[in-house]
Amino acid sequence: MRLVFAGTPAAAVPSLERLVASGHEVVGVVTRPDAPLGRKRVLTPSPVGSAAEAHGLPIVKAARLDEEATAAIAAFDADLGVIVAYGGLVREPLLSTPRLGWINLHFSVLPDWRGAAPVQHAIIAGDAELGASVFQLVPALDAGDVFAVRSRPNDEGLTAGAALEMLAEFGADLLAEVVDGLGAGTASAVPQLGEPTLAPKLSIDDGRLDWSRGAREVLARYRGVTPEPGAWTTIGGERLKVLEAREAREAGGDGDDGAAAPLAPGELRVERRRVLVGTADAPIELVRVQPAGKGAMAAADWGRGLATELRTLA
* Mean pLDDT confidence for 136-148: 97
CB 110 within 8 A of CB 190: no
Provide the 10 A C-beta neighbour count for residue 250: 8
Provide the 10 A C-beta neighbour count for residue 214: 14
Confidence of residue 310 (pLDDT cuts 50, 70, 90): low
User: What is the pairing mode between strands 25-31 and 59-61?
Assistant: parallel
Residue 134 has pLDDT above 70, yes or no: yes
Residue 258 has pLDDT above 60, yes or no: no
- CA dist 48 and 32 (Å) reads 9
Higher pLDDT among residues 115 and 39, named by residue: 115
Kindly list the domain boundaries of the chain, sorted by start residue. 2-184, 204-304
pTM, 2 dp? 0.93
Q: Hey, is 28 helix, strand or coil?
A: strand
Q: What is the pLDDT at residue 306? A: 86
Q: Hey, is 185 helix, strand or coil?
A: coil
Choose among 101, 83, 182, 168: nearest CA to 132: 168
Q: What is the pLDDT at residue 307? A: 75
Indicate the helix (H) or strand (E) that contains 204. none
Q: How far apart are the first and last CA of the chain?
A: 56
CATH code for the part of the protein at 2-184: 3.40.50.170
* Mean pLDDT confidence for 53-71: 96
CB 136 within 8 A of CB 189: yes
Q: What is the pLDDT at residue 312? A: 86
CB 15 within 8 A of CB 172: yes
Confidence of residue 254 (pLDDT cuts 50, 70, 90): low
Confidence of residue 257 (pLDDT cuts 50, 70, 90): low
Residue 185 has pLDDT above 70, yes or no: yes
CB 47 within 8 A of CB 23: no
Spell out the CATH class of 204-304: alpha beta
- Strand ranges (E), 260-309: 268-270, 275-277, 284-291, 297-298
What are the helix and strand counts (H, E) for the chain? Answer: 7, 15
CA distances from 109 to 193, 239, 291, 304 (A): 11, 35, 37, 44
Higher pLDDT among residues 58 and 254, named by residue: 58
Return mean pLDDT, the chain.
Answer: 94
CB 13 within 8 A of CB 24: no
Tally the residues of the chain: 314
How far from the centroid of its chain's Cα atoms is residue 103's Cα?
A: 20
Q: What is the pLDDT at residue 261? A: 67
